[in-house]
Amino acid sequence: MVGVDLFCGAGGMTLGAKLAGIRVSFAVEADVRAAATYALNHPEVELFAGDIRDVNTLLQAPVGESTVLFGGPPCQGFSTSNQRTRNRANQKNWMFREFIRLASLWRPDWLVFENVKGITETDSGSFLQAILQSFTDIGYTVTHGVLNAADFGVPQKRQRLFVIGSAHGASIHLPAPTTRRQIAVGAVLSDLPDLANGADCDILPYKQDTRSSFVRQLRDGEETVSGNLVTRNAKFILTRYKHVPQGGNWEDIPRRLMRNYRPGYECHTGIYHRLDPKKPSVVIGNYRKNMLIHPTQDRGLSVREAARIQSFPDSYVFSGSIGFQQQQVGNAVPPLLARAVFQSITAGQQ
């Protein structure tokens, strides 16, 4: 099966597709920094680093080989943490039309559309209904639902919407959970280097060997690991961290230390959240802005720690400044979750 990845970002969905045996041949990404990371890790894929609205032709698949078009249009406008722009006026909320346009142009055998769960709620669900109707209008049989990454071997509770379309009327069910016991972050991070606030030495040796099969899979025999970069927080931020227990959040910080917030302030529960080593992580989104705290160290997460929690292998390298690397990791689709979705398609092909 040959695949095309639209809005590919750093390449989480492409990696998941490749793990499911799909040969990804073409990808599109407008952000130059994410495109650089994608090209670095997927050099065999032809990459269009530009505006998807300028794409008017896709690859010519070999005769007899099935095809899949996949991708996740920008989702910030659908996020439940972005209430100001969760409406029809946000132009980014309409980028899914480019996915439909190219699906109509290429006519692949399969479509896989991914987005945040919030799209099911935006504008009373009208955006989701528009997407489903658009798939049907261009001739695809549609299956859709919300999956939790933690049910598919990812150490993170991250819910994502997936829509699968078949050009041949096939009835494909979303994958059933593959993990009987969810993976906790403690073991996932235990072998990575101890780091200080503001750590900036990119490549370091592992701290120790690991007994975790998940970690052994991601290490894949590597002796050193990159991405040991941590945001340098101000001292008053570090003081706040010390008050947050494992599994706690901003509500555990004394009010006298939060005076820069307005009186009677309220934050969502993901702000100043310290990860619980005995549980899967909360969502790795904009983890620098949310001030996600390491389970045992009073600092933010490193790029590699966040990438681990997203299920990227340690050999996967992120490019650009630390801020852009953090954004790429946080925006990505967890590869192991994507793999499960693509496997539900490839299994139906056999």
Q: Residues near 288 by Cβ (< 8 Å), separated by ≥ 6?
A: 231, 300, 323, 326
| β-pair partners for 224 | 205
Cα 225 from Cα 189, distance rounded (Å) = 12
Cα 245 off chain centre by = 26
How many CA atoms within 13 Å lie on the side-chain side of 213? 2
d(CA 257, CA 272): 13
The answer for residues whose C-beta is within 8 angstroms of residue 94's C-beta and 6 or more apart is none
3-class secondary-structure state, position 282: coil
8 catalytic per annotation: no
Q: What residues contact 180, with CB distance under 8 A and at least 6 apart?
A: none
Question: Hey, which residues are catalytic here?
Answer: 75
